Copies of this chain bind each other. A is one copy, B any other.
């Protein structure tokens, strides 16, 4: 059921991998190494120096920063087709630590090879720039969310954003998606405590906005949730 080569992978059409579609369809060109990790495993640490660039092939992961008091801030959730961070194309230090949420498979590409491919075609610079601009835009939106939006709005936006990303990659089509996040993941992403997240999610359910159980999220009232999220 899971693709065994990039040439069979759906993500090849979307997100990061689409830039290398041609090269990926001829597997001998890039020949990335495949790795598999179980859920809740560390993929890389903040101070690591990565010789290779990891791309998520299946499963969910997260990138985060740890603080000295033991708490952490999640910077982004990584879905199939995502590069851990565009900065890794140029800098071997990830600057964040990366952990699997579900079972994850990822492929590691040689940085030098990717860069060579990147600059072999004139339009590549613009495509890398686009990738980078999108990453930065998401970071800026997160800053706005954390700085100026109330808790319910942040949670609603997180869920809507994830559903939109999944749909864009054809990993979901209805308003119901696989949702492996624990409440502490949500808490660490939106800057709240798990206890408070639990209470607010109960409110969402009480108001008929969502159904969330068994690692599955259904948006029951899209208009209502968008209203809570202050979107559209």
Chain A contact residues, CB within 8 Å of chain B: 65, 67-68, 71-73, 75, 85-87, 89-91, 95-96, 119, 125-126, 129-130, 132-133, 135-137, 139-140, 142-144, 146-149, 189-191, 230
Give the docked Cα–Cα distance between A199 and B156 (Å).
32
- For the complex, would chain A's binding face be called helix, strand, loop or mixed by DSSP majority? helix
Q: Are A65 and B140 touching (Cβ within 8 A)?
A: yes
Residues of the B chain whose Cβ atoms lie less than 8 Å from the Cβ of A144: 65, 67, 73
Residue of B nearest to A122 (CB): B119
What are 15 of the A-B contact pairs (CB < 8 Å)?
A65-B144, A67-B230, A72-B148, A73-B143, A75-B143, A90-B125, A90-B129, A119-B125, A125-B125, A132-B136, A136-B139, A139-B139, A146-B146, A147-B189, A147-B191
Q: Are A67 and B148 touching (Cβ within 8 A)?
A: yes
Give the docked Cα–Cα distance between A149 and B65 (Å).
12
Q: Given A73-B148, A147-B191, output 20 extra A-B contacts at Cβ < 8 Å.
A: A65-B140, A67-B144, A67-B148, A67-B230, A72-B148, A73-B144, A87-B129, A87-B133, A90-B129, A90-B130, A91-B129, A95-B137, A125-B125, A132-B132, A135-B136, A136-B136, A136-B139, A139-B139, A146-B146, A146-B147
Give the docked Cα–Cα distance between A142 and B90 (Å).
22
Residues of the B chain whose Cβ atoms lie less than 8 Å from the Cβ of A191: 146-148
Give the docked Cα–Cα distance between A95 and B91 (Å).
26
Residue of B nearest to A146 (CB): B146
Q: Can you tell how many copies of this chain the complex includes?
A: 2
Give the docked Cα–Cα distance between A132 and B72 (Å).
24
The distance from the CB of A111 to the nearest CB of chain B, in whole angstroms, is 12
Give the docked Cα–Cα distance between A86 and B130 (Å).
12
Residues of the B chain whose Cβ atoms lie less than 8 Å from the Cβ of A137: 87, 95
Residues of the B chain whose Cβ atoms lie less than 8 Å from the Cβ of A68: 230
Residue of B nearest to A230 (CB): B68
Q: Are B136 and A96 touching (Cβ within 8 A)?
A: no
Residues of the B chain whose Cβ atoms lie less than 8 Å from the Cβ of A71: 148
Residues of the B chain whose Cβ atoms lie less than 8 Å from the Cβ of A85: 136
Give the docked Cα–Cα distance between A68 and B89 (Å).
36
Of B72, B87, B129, B139, which one neighbours A89 at CB under 8 angstroms?
B129
